[in-house]
Structure 1
């Protein structure tokens, strides 16, 4: 991997150039933040904003405790223990697990959400509504749910969400057939996500819990025919 890179002035483009010229391939873990800040000559705060921009674009994905990985712009195919666990679960069982865990995470988010996480929720919602393809929508949908978990301000809950999300991908991977090229303007998840974000912004734990529960029950019915 080359130690010499050209340095664009924009931090996001600088990070993109580093990834491109560094020869990183899909699924490879990027160096830790302390290495990247030294290599790219930027502060940790600036780096994290750049990483956030690439994550929103689906270029990278992050896993608590494991690091930042290069994506191809689509959801990552699961592997290892998560894939094996996913193969043993039916979609119904997967949704029951989500219903048991994610509403509680949303409740904690309503108590602890920072201004930054609320802004990022709104950004994910806006990008999801503007998505031209289902893949673009799913990237933003995934990011919205993860930002809710981040907003809980609880590393254990965030790590639990990441594990749950990895198994979800294993269950649903390749099994969902879309009838259109992109979400319709009245796609039900738009209003459901808005209700979750609104409850979190209002610091209403009970409403956030119920909004997430309503959303997940709707997803279960729509995708799997189960409540």
Structure 2
């Protein structure tokens, strides 16, 4: 049957020849590992379409049930997208901060990483970008950040402050570096950041108003190109959040081990 015309990348001899037969009890897992390795190495790139199920069965030497199970795992991992229709199939996806963020949330949920540890990571990253922001941030960036501060103030006055506004501020601040790597890192940390702020807010509801004040002081320092002052304010800002997440033991009590 002649191949249908399509705007998507079609399976070809290159992608087909990359796949080799597997033989193990956990066959579907080995298929997943093989496809993941090809994506990580760049041999399969975003937009590439994997071979049809029948051809994958022949290449791997397995049943369609096994191939479909592997494709479901790859789709759940955000590595491929399954499309239906005349031009359907399994396509390698473009990496995104949302997918990375979801993976980080799962990791934090299933591991022993605490909100306090999340804040320690934020301190390294967000204090570290202050010198970059002092040089790279533009008027449009400051206007967006001021708008977020105004929304924060309105929410506080109305008595229903949402820490999501704080997350938005810090995410937009990273974007103002005009460095896609910084922005991707902070955006992918959206879930853990929200988790740590919600935990801190539960112990200190007044943090929203004080945090807004510090946000505005950071912006003022950056407008002046004063990276040192902005760094100090951000450091204090995050240290205070960290203290709320990991309060000091009461006097006379046993000191918590570090």
Q: TM-score, normalising length from structure 1?
A: 0.56
Contact 2:132 2:177 in 1 (8 A): yes
Measure, in 2, the Cα distance between the counterparts of 1:210 and 1:100: 12
Distance 1:176 1:220, change over 3 A: closer
Given that 1:117 and 1:151 are in contact with CA atoms closer than 8 Å, whether structure 2 keeps it comes out as yes
**Relative to structure 1, is the Cα distance of residues 220 and 176 closer, same or farther in structure 2, using a 3 angstrom cutoff?**
closer
In structure 2, distance between residues paired with 1:217 and 1:185: 12
Q: Which has the larger radius of gyration?
A: 2
The whole-number CA distance in structure 1 between the counterparts of 2:223 and 2:120 is 26
Q: Please tell me whether the aligned partners of residues 136 and 176 of structure 2 are also in contact (alpha carbons under 8 angstroms).
A: yes
Of structures 1 and 2, the one with the larger relative CO (CA 8 A, separation 6+) is 1
Q: Which residue of structure 2 aligns with residue 91 of structure 1?
A: 115
Deviates more, 1:80-89 or 1:141-150: 80-89
Deviation, structure 1 residue 163: 2.0
User: How far 1:195 moved relative to its partner?
Assistant: 1.4
Deviation at 1:179, TM superposition (A): 7.3
8 Å contact from structure 2 (residues 218, 234) kept in 1: yes
Where does 1:180-219 land on structure 2 (aligned, <5 Å)?
A: 187-219=209-241
> 2:104 and 2:114 mapped to 1: Cα distance?
14
CA distance in 1: counterparts of 2:193 and 2:207, whole angstroms: 25
Instruction: Give the structure 2 partner of residue 115 of structure 1.
Output: 139
- In structure 2, stretches of 5+ residues that fail to align are 1-93, 249-258
Tell me, which stretches of 5 or more residues in structure 1 are unaligned?
A: 1-63, 69-77
* Number of equivalences: 151
1:29-68 residue pairs with structure 2 within 5 A? 66=96
Query: Under a length normalisation based on structure 2, what TM-score does the superposition of the two structures give?
Result: 0.50
